[in-house]
Amino acid sequence: MGLVGLRCRECGKAFPVSPVYACDECLGPLEAVYDHAGVDPAALRARIEAGPRSIWRYADLLPAPHDPEADLQAGFTPLLHARRLGEALGLPRLYIKNDALNPTWSFKDRVVSVAISAARRFGFEVVACASTGNLANSVAAHAARAGMEAYVFIPAGLERAKVVTSAIYHPTVVEVEGTYDDVNRLCAQIADEYRWAFVNVNLRPFYSEGAKTLGFEVAEQLGWRLPDHVVVPIASGNLLVKIARGFDELARLGLVERRPVRVSGAQPSGCNPVARAFRAGQAYVDPVRPQTIAKSLAIGNPADGKYVLEVVRATGGAVEEATDQEIVEAIGLLARTEGIFTETAGGTTIAVLRRLVQQGVVRPDETVVAYITGMGLKTPEAAEEASAAPVRIPASLRAFEADVLSGRRADAAQRAPSLITR
Amino acid sequence: MAVTVRIPQLLRNLTNGEREVQVEAATLREAIEALDARYPGLRQRLLDGQGELLRYVNLFVNDQDARLLSGLDTPLPQGAEVAIVPAMAGGC
């Protein structure tokens, strides 16, 4: 039971469990293969429910063993019924999966936790990644925890906060002059020559599986039930594909009742190769040169674009895009309706959700889950425009009454007078 | 045009272990034909039956993605470095 091997996603050729990522026949990507024959669903469910409050409660369904020495307890983040945002959008059963609440404040901790465990199992001493920022944060932190040497490669010009939040763990931060796609290509070339564990290159078959836990958790938190529709941000596309895979695995194992889950994807207009391919009816994604404030989604050549298109089309979802302006507005909307401060990727998800509701793709009768994958403090620049300006006053009651009370929101001011009369 | 082609690990069984191969070619397509002439079998690992680049093969000319240039018709300047990168997974 558990992981039994790897398989080429294109030609199906089988490989033993090892740190290989490309097929030697067709050069296609590899994925994990499990054998869950004879698993008792009730016993598995009980094991999960008794497990740690982290992704490792799903260890039976992951491709690496739990490694407490390298574990920062990623996952098991809140699923919130978003009543006020739902009201604003016309969705009474809207839920937010707040995955900003992870050890390094993005969903990357899930995939990195799995990858680091695999890296240690394979005896790697150096761990590395190509990153738009969040992944670098997570790799640097997990490497520190595990006592491994870390190299994180990022495009030069990232948000300052996203550099500091890697550098503090003392990896070697390599700023590459170019886009994320340049960084990614360079890392593929380095991984080809040196025995380093690049979590999202040569360990990708393991790493990518960690994203399934965002499907598992939502189902468990809904009371072992699948939602009707999920909206997921797209960078490489792996997250979206693996959330759908997570739902499918639970149904195949008998942990939830099988029902169709529509899967929709969100991209910024400044990096929209999958949205464009979706609209054009193409089976493949043509690369673009990104130009967007949503830097964590700025992958012009998304590795899993083709698989995203397959999942979205098969489930009756859509891939939609949002402009930089809409993204900033949506960051503000989520913050002031639900008290959740997300980064630009989360703004993209909410902005696209809004468009999909307007288009009638996401419907009011559906149980909808929007995935918020990163936190706002990492991209404060993007949030400033959507923020309320402070009201500065002298320390006097008169100034408070003149400048603060007079500016109360209209809806609040309509309520009964709030002066205390005793 | 003399150009240098970097061969990834997965294809080095075809190039007798060579990491870098020099060929004469004016375009990427010509470079692949020249490689195949020297190391038979390389062509079919990179191109499909219609002579188009396989989906999971990425070619770079002086670090520029050929898909963002002119694909297999991309001209090769003198001394160009061509990189073959398989299954460029990457991404977040």
Q: Which amino acid type is present at position A366?
A: E
For A13-63, how does the pLDDT look when each residue is reduced to its tens digit (9 = 90+)? 999 999 998 898 888 889 999 999 999 999 999 999 999 999 999 999 999
More confident call, B18 vs A409:
B18
Q: What are phi and psi of A334, to 5 degrees?
A: -65, -40
The 10 Å Cβ neighbour count of residue B6 is 17
Q: How far is B88 from chain A (nearest CA, A)?
A: 6
Ranges assigned E (strand) in A167-206? 172-176, 197-198
Euclidean distance between CA atoms A324 and A421, whole angstroms: 48
For residue A157, the number of C-alpha atoms closer than 13 Å in the C-beta half-sphere is: 12
Q: Which residues contact B39 (CB under 8 A, 6 or more apart)?
A: B14, B15, B16, B21
Q: Which amino acid type is present at position A121?
A: R
- Please give the pLDDT value at position A26: 83
Residues in chain A: 422
Q: How far is B86 from chain A (nearest CA, A)?
A: 5
Is A396 near chain B, with CB under 8 Å? Answer: no
Q: Facing residues of B57 across strands?
A: B86
Euclidean distance between CA atoms A198 and A188, whole angstroms: 8
Stated pTM of the model: 0.93
Instruction: Please answer whether residues A393 and A404 qualify as being in contact, where contact means their C-beta atoms are separated by less than 8 angstroms.
Output: yes
Give me the sign of the Cα torsion angle A112, A113, A116, A122: negative
* Chain A residues lying within 8 Å of B85, measured CB to CB: 185, 188-189, 192
- Please give the pLDDT value at position A406: 86
Is A310 near chain B, with CB under 8 Å? Answer: no
Nearest CA in chain B to A10: B56
Q: How far is A167 from chain B (nearest CA, A)?
A: 19
Euclidean distance between CA atoms A52 and A224, whole angstroms: 17
Regions of chain A short of the pLDDT cut 50: none
- Please give the pLDDT value at position B55: 81
State yes or no: pLDDT of B2 exceeds 90.
yes
Q: Facing residues of B5 across strands?
A: B21, B82
For A129-156, how does the pLDDT look when each residue is reduced to its tens digit (9 = 90+)? 999 899 999 999 999 999 999 999 999 9
- Best residue in B32, B45, B92 for a mutation probing chain A (most A CBs within 10 Å): B92
Euclidean distance between CA atoms A274 and A166, whole angstroms: 29
Q: Facing residues of A97 across strands?
A: A79, A371
Is A197 near chain B, with CB under 8 Å? Answer: no
- Please give the pLDDT value at position A283: 95
- Please give the pLDDT value at position A396: 96
Residues of B with CB under 8 A from a CB of A: 6, 8-10, 45, 54-58, 60, 63, 65, 67-68, 83, 85-92
For B19-61, how does the pLDDT look when each residue is reduced to its tens digit (9 = 90+)? 999 999 999 999 999 999 999 999 999 999 899 988 888 999 9
Residue A327 DSSP SS3? helix
Instruction: Please answer whether residues A207 and A199 qualify as being in contact, where contact means their C-beta atoms are separated by less than 8 angstroms.
Output: yes
Euclidean distance between CA atoms A356 and A354, whole angstroms: 5
Is A115 near chain B, with CB under 8 Å? Answer: no
- Please give the pLDDT value at position A407: 78
ipTM over 0.95: no
Euclidean distance between CA atoms A145 and B87, whole angstroms: 30
Strand A319-322 to B20-24 pairing: unpaired
Instruction: Please answer whether residues A105 and A374 qualify as being in contact, where contact means their C-beta atoms are separated by less than 8 angstroms.
Output: yes
- Please give the pLDDT value at position A145: 98
For A211-246, how does the pLDDT look when each residue is reduced to its tens digit (9 = 90+)? 999 999 999 999 999 999 999 999 999 999 999 999
Nearest to B87 among A27, A236, A296 (CB): A27
- Please give the pLDDT value at position A414: 58
Q: What are phi and psi of A2, to 5 degrees?
A: 95, -155
For B56-84, how does the pLDDT look when each residue is reduced to its tens digit (9 = 90+)? 889 999 999 998 899 999 999 999 999 99
DSSP per position, A100-155: T-STTSBTHHHHHHHHHHHHHHTT-SEEEEE-SSHHHHHHHHHHHHHT-EEEEEEE
